[in-house]
Amino acid sequence: MKRLLSVLAASSLLLGLAQGAVLAANPAHIDQENDVGSDSANDAGHTFAQTFTVGHAGKLSSVDLWLGGGGAISIDIEHVDGSDHPDGTSIASGSATAPATADWVNFALGTSISVAVGDRLAIVFTTAEGPDVYGSNNGDNSYAGGTAYWYNPATPAWEDLDNISEAPTDLAFRTYVDPVSTPTPAKTSTVEGSASSGGQTGWLLPIGLVASCCGAVLLIARRRAVRVS
């Protein structure tokens, strides 16, 4: 009887672990990325933006910027208008403190955003007064999926950032997306009445294993009962 209880307990534990694996959340991963280069700018007190194109469906949860010079900085995520400029409406925001020496700074968004492949969004932020490196990258059009802008209050309008001397064409940035889980459909069985729902796929192996263990235990128990009698 003790052996039977032990095996059943182990089977229950196995089933619980299998359930946990099915319910585990997918971690965020880098979706879009533009590496750091030699170009930089520190024109403080201006508003800058980097547009980007979403590559994976899921939840946009945070972004990185290459920043320096110290000071608190807040960012907004906005949709873009027909000219690929930020539309002025924040759909998520985050804040962080830039280090004295330029480095990657992560901005966790207060509210994650549902995104689809091909969505065009913008990272918008204003640098603090004083020297403050906001981002850098090498070459023309180093990120093909978007453009870096600065807001010119004299116009007033968004202008390409590379119009400023020694400014980069694109900022150094990274975006993080929690991918959407897509259940794998179960193969349709030819046996009438068998399960064919895709949501049951993850349970077939652990349930079958537990059933096999329980069946073996019951068979052993019956044989022992026959011997005793």
Q: Exposed, middle or buried by CB within 10 Å (0-12, 13-18, 19+), for 152?
A: middle
Structure tokens at 208: 């079958």
Q: Whole-prediction pTM value?
A: 0.67
Q: Which of 21-25, 108-112, 140-144, 193-197 has the highest mean pLDDT?
A: 108-112
- Section 183-187 average pLDDT: 60
Measure the CA–CA gap between 140 and 163, rounded to whole angstroms. 12
Confidence bin at 186 (pLDDT 50/70/90): low
The DSSP symbol for 217 reads: H
Q: Are 161 and 189 in contact (CB under 8 A)?
A: no
Tokens of 115: 């995104």
DSSP 27: P
164-171: average pLDDT: 74
Q: What is the pLDDT of residue 93?
A: 97
Say yes or no to pLDDT of 116 above 90.
Answer: yes
CATH topology of domain 29-179: Jelly Rolls (2.60.120)
Predicted confidence band of residue 199 (pLDDT cuts 50, 70, 90): very low
Q: Is the peptide bond before 99 cis (omega within 30 degrees of 0)?
A: no
